[in-house]
């Protein structure tokens, strides 16, 4: 870019004018206050924003109505020690203050003091000169910059916003429970190690792999493991870091990232949360997002720009595959997709084994039992669980983690923080009857998971809890099992109704009823488990990773809708009758269990079953088959 002096003059004019106005008493106090404070290091506002994003800013002292700031920063670029640096702030700093608050930076404002004459003179001359000097510098920089995107100030140039690890030190053995993904990636490792083998026969090496899966399932870990196995550098950036306040910054970051990657090929470029940039373009409500679209376009351009054999493999991760722009998924971009799911029982066991390696765990602990108790846990949850247990063990001054600490940690992860139990009162007894209702119905029904414990110690939202031991991963559940589940979920309300009477039933069953209705409805509309027949009338309610509903619209007639409602009602009604019957028939047992529960607050599964066995004619054998599960 060539700049004539005419342009320079033209450009500098408004700044000089602005400087003149500012000079009218606005800046001198600051100059005075600051110059007594620090040496002469300063940085641009753009640089400052970058430091802020990196979390390197520790404290900000605002001077002169927030036109100038002294910041305390620490970071690798500053030699890892705290430095005081002066920053000129743009006139409107309100936005900045909000941002500082969000980043939890210590802010302090200093009132203006009247200034000495000399300082004011120096300040007056200094400011316009500095601005001019800065402008010249800027123009010279943009003249040499390869980007040429015409960015104002230095925002366009990013420094070290991506991380680079020369060696991740992570290998495939550190990632467990995702065998298919590992197999898929074994190939990628070979591409990186011996590209010649593929190029010799004319194979095009894939450029991009997209990792899809819920949070905490080990996507980042897998990407690092690939780099580790192939011993290549690992560049990583998060999609959200691309999206910035200023249009064009993201695009220039993408350029920088790939420039660095090319210099270090072969290597892995990992883009986390790619959905932040890779969203379907032009779909934003109220207009698209220019910045994001520019960034995405740049990313696509970069990926198209390098040939398959440059040795860069881009791995991106997301848990929102549904929102990705289809251009990302075209051949030559992220044409390979690997799904990483929440681990199953064996996967959990393997992950636990990996994370138990560096912990002192008592020999009485069975990882298999933990794996059984934790269906639905992701790899990160399991890692966190063992860590919580280790912390608890240390706090208790024990030398190895026992099952007790692990149990406590699982409860905390599953149901939230423990609260304080109620004092003995009518409502405590009511909760006790409710929980014992669930537990007794669950125990006496065929096809139901065994009770693990019943407790009156509140956790999270729940005031009492009945835990059932999940017997295996619930991939295939029979009709009889669902019916039993519905019946035991109704056991709480049934007990309230029988013991305290219709007018006394509480809102405590709200959650149970929600679960019951949803199960019954799914039986009818998804699993073909009603007299409507084997039809799939509604799609899966929740999309795999989102945890939100996708409105698919109904594809059936109004008559069928009425049928569905009737069937759902019928299932729930009959299950409720079974639950009421079980409670009535076992009133003495239930009263006894409630007395124990109110006294001890927790009854574990074995103790519970022993008491049940004392009162029921066929010990340890379920006596009830829900009316529905027999035939229909
Ligand atoms: P994601 O990127 O999918 O959100 P991460 O890779 O960041 O998940 O996982 C977070 C942490 O959880 C990892 O550092 C690791 O300790 C643990 N973890 C997750 N999945 C696994 C796994 N499959 N095997 C071993 N550890 C795992
Ligand atoms: Mg991650
Ligand atoms: Zn309940």
Our CA angle for 73, 76, 77, nearest 5°, is 75
Helix (H) or strand (E) holding 270: strand 267-272
Give 93 or 297, the one with higher predicted confidence.
297
* Homologous superfamily of domain range 426-631: Peptidase M41 (1.20.58.760)
Range with the lowest mean pLDDT among 26-40, 111-125, 479-493, 582-596?
26-40
Which tokens in the block code for residue 84? 């005081």
User: What pLDDT sits at residue 118?
Assistant: 61
3-state SS, residue 426: helix
What would the mean pLDDT of 109-125 be, rounded to a whole number?
Answer: 62
Cβ atoms 456, 621 nearer than 8 A = no
Fold of 161-339: Rossmann fold (3.40.50)
Write the CB contacts of 123 (distance below 8 Å, at least 6 apart in sequence).
23, 27, 28, 30, 31, 32, 115
- Ligand 2 centre distance from Cα of residue 478 (Å): 35
Helix axis angle, 426-444 relative to 587-600, nearest 10°? 120
Ligand found nearest the CA of 212: 1
Averaged pLDDT of the chain: 79
Judge whether 380 and 215 are in contact, CB under 8 Å: yes
Cβ-contact 237, 272 below 8 angstroms: yes
Write down the residue that tokens 């390098």 correspond to.
306
Phi, psi torsion values for 511, nearest 5 degrees: -65, -45
Q: Are 161-339 and 345-415 equal in CATH topology?
A: no
- Cα of first residue to Cα of last residue in the chain, in angstroms, is 81
Q: What confidence category does residue 499 fall into, taking pLDDT thresholds of 50, 70 and 90? A: very high
Atom number in ligand 1 closest to CA 384: 12
Q: What is the pLDDT of residue 386?
A: 94
Q: Which has more confidence, 155 or 94?
A: 94
pLDDT digits (tens, 9 = 90+) for 303-341: 877 665 578 889 999 888 777 888 888 877 887 888 898
Is the distance from CB of 178 to CB of 342 less than 8 angstroms?
A: no
pLDDT at position 549: 47
3-class SS at 293?
Answer: helix
216 lines ligand 1 (CB under 6 A): yes
> Which of 124-128, 204-208, 494-498, 581-585 has the weakest average pLDDT?
124-128
Query: How does pLDDT run across 265-318, given as a tens digit for each residue?
Result: 788 999 988 888 777 665 544 445 667 777 888 888 888 776 655 788 899 998
Q: Is the Cβ atom of 178 under 6 angstroms away from ligand 1?
A: yes
Q: What angle do CA 283, 288, 293 make, to 5 degrees?
A: 100
Looking at the predicted structure, is the pLDDT value of residue 57 above 50? yes
- The answer for residues whose C-beta is within 8 angstroms of residue 329's C-beta and 6 or more apart is 210, 335, 337
Q: Is the pLDDT at 96 greater than 80, yes or no?
A: no
Question: Does pLDDT of 38 surpass 70?
Answer: no
**By the 8 A CB rule, do 410 and 377 touch?**
no
- Any idea which of 149-158, 172-181, 566-575 has the lowest mean pLDDT? 149-158
| Closest C-alpha among 24, 95, 42 to residue 66 | 95
Q: What's the pLDDT band for 382 if we cut at 50, 70, 90?
A: very high
Which of 414, 352, 366, 441 lies closest to 623 in space, CA to CA? 441
pLDDT of residue 501: 94
Q: Which of 179, 435, 496, 601 is catalytic?
A: 435
Among 218, 228, 272, 274, say which to mutate for ligand 1: greatest number of ligand atoms within 8 Å of CB: 218
pLDDT digits (tens, 9 = 90+) for 472-493: 656 688 999 999 999 999 999 9
Q: What are the phi and psi torsion angles at 602 (to 5°)?
A: -140, 135
Of all protein residues, the one whose alpha carbon is nearest to atom 17 of ligand 1 is 380
Q: Is 504 helix (H, G, I), strand (E, B) or coil?
A: helix
Distance CA 587, CA 440 (A): 10
Q: Which of 215-229, 313-327, 471-485, 533-547 has the lowest mean pLDDT?
A: 533-547
DSSP string, 510-572: HHHHHHHHHHHHHHHHTS--STT-S---S--SB-TTT-SB------S-HHHHHHHHHHHHHHH
> Nearest residue CA, atom 6 of ligand 1?
218
The rounded percent of the chain whose pLDDT value lies above 70 is 77
For ligand 1, is residue 376 a contact (CB within 6 Å)? no
How far is it, in rounded angstroms, from Cα 134 to Cα 193?
47
User: Spelled out in words, what is the top-level CATH class assigned to the domain 345-415?
Assistant: mainly alpha
Ligand 1 centroid distance, CA of 360 (Å): 21
More reliable by pLDDT, 284 or 45: 45
Ligand of minimum distance to the alpha carbon of 240: 2
The pLDDT-based confidence of 437 (bands split at 50, 70, 90) is: very high
pLDDT at residue 441 greater than cutoff 90 = yes
Distance CA 155, CA 332 (A): 31
Neighbours of 612 (CB within 10 A): 22
Distance from the CA of 436 to the center of ligand 3, in angstroms?
Answer: 9
Check pocket membership of 116 for ligand 1, CB cut-off 6 A.
no
Residue 94 and residue 105 in contact, taking contact as beta carbons nearer than 8 Å = no
Closest CA relative to residue 314, chosen from 158, 162, 146, 148: 162
72 is catalytic: no
Q: Please work out whether the CB of residue 136 comes within 6 Å of at least one atom of ligand 1.
A: no
Alpha helices by DSSP H, listed for 306-454, are 345-356, 367-373, 379-395, 403-415, 426-444
Go through 33-66 and write b for each residue having 16 or more CB atoms within 10 A of its CB, e for each that does not: bbeeeeeeebbbbbbbbbbbbbebbebbbbbbbb
CB of 441 closer than 8 Å to CB of 491? yes
Give distance in angstroms: CA of 238 to centre of ligand 2. Answer: 9
> CATH for 5-115, among 3.30.720.210, 3.60.21.10, 3.90.1260.10, 3.20.20.80?
3.30.720.210
List, for residues 245-267, the tens digit of each pLDDT value: 566 777 888 888 888 888 887 88
Spacing, Cα 317 to ligand 2 middle (Å): 7
Look at residues 261, 584, 486, 268 and name the one whose alpha carbon lies nearest to residue 253: 261
Nearest CA to ligand 1 atom 25: 175
Q: Annotated binding residues for ATP, as ranges?
A: 213-220
CA distance 491 to 575: 9
User: Ligand 1 in contact with 168 (CB < 6 A)?
Assistant: no
What are the domain boundaries of the chain?
Answer: 5-115, 161-339, 345-415, 426-631
Question: Which ligand has the minimum distance to the alpha carbon of residue 441?
Answer: 3
Q: Give burial (CB, 10 Å; 0-12/13-18/19+) of 164.
A: middle
**Which CA distances in Å does 557 have to 176, 525, 535, 560?**
47, 13, 13, 5
Handedness of CA 210, 216, 222, 223 (dihedral sign): positive
């Amino acid at each position: 870019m060539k700049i004539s002096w005419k342009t320079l003059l033209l450009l500098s004019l408004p700044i000089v004018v602005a400087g003149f106005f500012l000079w009218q008493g606005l800046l001198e106090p600051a100059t005075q206050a600051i110059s007594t404070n620090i040496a002469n290091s300063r940085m641009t506002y753009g640089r400052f924003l970058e430091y802020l994003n990196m979390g390197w800013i520790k404290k900000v002292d605002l001077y002169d109505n927030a036109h100038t700031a002294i910041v305390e920063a620490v970071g690798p670029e500053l030699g890892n020690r705290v430095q005081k640096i002066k920053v000129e702030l743009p006139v409107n700093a309100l936005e900045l203050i909000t941002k500082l608050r969000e980043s939890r930076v210590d802010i302090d404002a200093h009132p203006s003091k009247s200034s000495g004459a000399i300082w004011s003179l120096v300040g007056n001359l200094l400011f316009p000169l500095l601005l001019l000097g800065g402008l010249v510098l800027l123009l010279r920089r943009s003249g040499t910059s390869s980007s040429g995107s015409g960015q104002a100030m230095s925002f366009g140039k990013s420094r070290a916003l991506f991380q680079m690890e020369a060696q991740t030190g992570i290998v495939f053995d550190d990632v467990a429970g995702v065998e298919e993904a590992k197999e898929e990636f074994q190939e990628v490792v070979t591409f990186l190690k011996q590209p010649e083998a593929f190029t010799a026969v004319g194979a095009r090496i894939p450029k991009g792999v997209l990792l899809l899966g819920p949070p905490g399932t080990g996507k980042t870990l897998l990407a690092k493991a690939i780099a580790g196995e192939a011993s290549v550098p690992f560049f990583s950036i998060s999609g959200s870091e691309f999206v910035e306040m200023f249009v064009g910054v993201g695009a220039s970051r993408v350029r920088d990232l790939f420039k660095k990657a090319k210099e270090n090929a072969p290597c892995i470029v990992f883009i986390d949360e790619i959905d932040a940039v890779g969203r379907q373009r032009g779909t934003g409500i109220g207009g698209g997002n220019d910045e994001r679209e520019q960034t995405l376009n740049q990313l696509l351009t970069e990926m198209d720009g390098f040939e398959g054999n440059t040795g860069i493999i881009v791995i991106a991760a997301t848990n929102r595959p549904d929102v990705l722009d289809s251009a990302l998924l075209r051949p030559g971009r992220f044409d390979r997709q690997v799904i990483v799911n929440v681990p199953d029982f064996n996967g959990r066991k393997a992950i636990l084994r990996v994370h138990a390696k560096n912990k002192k765990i008592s020999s009485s602990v069975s990882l298999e039992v933990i794996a059984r108790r934790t269906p639905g846990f992701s790899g990160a949850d399991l890692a966190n669980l063992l860590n919580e247990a280790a912390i608890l063990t240390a706090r208790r001054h024990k030398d190895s983690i026992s099952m007790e600490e692990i149990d406590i940690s699982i409860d905390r992860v599953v149901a939230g923080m423990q609260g304080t139990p109620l004092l003995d009162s009518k409502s405590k007894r009511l909760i006790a009857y409710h929980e014992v209702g669930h537990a007794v119905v669950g125990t006496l029904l065929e096809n139901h998971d065994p009770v693990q414990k019943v407790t009156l110690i509140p956790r999270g939202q729940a005031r009492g809890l009945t835990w059932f031991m999940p017997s295996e991963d619930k991939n295939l559940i029979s009709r009889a099992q669902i019916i039993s589940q519905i019946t035991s979920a109704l056991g709480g309300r049934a007990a309230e109704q029988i013991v305290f009477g219709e007018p006394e039933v509480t809102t405590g069953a709200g959650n149970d009823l929600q679960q019951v209705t949803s199960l019954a409805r799914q039986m009818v509309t998804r699993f073909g488990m009603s007299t409507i027949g084997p039809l799939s009338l509604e799609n899966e309610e929740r999309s795999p990773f989102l945890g939100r509903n996708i409105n698919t619209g109904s594809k059936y007639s109004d008559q069928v809708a009425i049928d569905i409602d009737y069937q759902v009602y019928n299932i729930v009604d009959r299950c409720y009758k079974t639950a009421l019957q079980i409670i009535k028939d076992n009133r003495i047992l239930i009263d006894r269990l409630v007395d124990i529960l109110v006294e001890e607050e927790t009854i574990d599964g074995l103790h519970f079953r022993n008491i049940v066995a004392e009162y029921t004619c066929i010990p340890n054998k379920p006596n009830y088959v829900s009316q529905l599960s027999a035939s229909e």
